[in-house]
Copies of this chain bind each other. A is one copy, B any other.
């Protein structure tokens, strides 16, 4: 199993047993998450951007409008801290104190790199679309020259990264185990409900299988 670089920042001082630098695990969490939070510094203040992303190999890509001040800020090579967090369940202990959550998260430290190569830009947009909705890219009207001109793509190398998680059941204190309180885990997951067609959609166009079976695909 391959590992990515461990630095003091990606080696948590507490709860180290929940940590891992295993690359496969990091990739799996990044691939399951649908959006990330990016922390950066503007002036002397911390700032946060929630945004979508795609991954190709050891690079994570975001995109946005070339007119966006924010995108230009992130493309200037400043350091960011990026997190993808998946909430897997509520851990309901017998005591308030031992309540917890099951989760998987990745934290990545990186500097944004403006992508200028046209093929890499195209591939990043395809990866972004396929990440959110596998099967979609081949079917839609792909980016025009004008679309590409309006779009900025930024790459973050996945090098200084760590995964953290909690799984499993409740951990109550011995003396609380006999309390008449239900204890266990309530699993949570992001689920799709019935697709809502565009009101002006030609009614002869059927919902694609990759939309209809989105929940099943994500589990696979």
Contact = CB atoms under 8 A, between A and B. Distances in A.
B14 A96 contact: no
Given A46-B46, A92-B211, A132 B99 contact: yes
B198 A183 contact: yes
B169 A182 contact: no
A154 B117 CA distance: 46
Copies in the complex: 2
A177 B184 CA distance: 50
Contacts of A65: 14
Contacts of A150: 97
A181 interface: yes
- Provide the main secondary structure of the chain A interface: mixed
Residue of A80, A92, A179, A193 ringed by the most chain B CB atoms within 10 A: A92
A45 B191 contact: no
A21 to B, nearest CB: 17
28 contacts: A35-B85, A37-B48, A45-B79, A46-B81, A48-B82, A50-B83, A50-B105, A90-B132, A90-B133, A96-B140, A96-B141, A96-B143, A97-B141, A97-B143, A99-B129, A101-B132, A133-B186, A140-B181, A141-B181, A169-B196, A169-B199, A181-B205, A183-B197, A183-B198, A184-B195, A184-B198, A186-B195, A188-B190
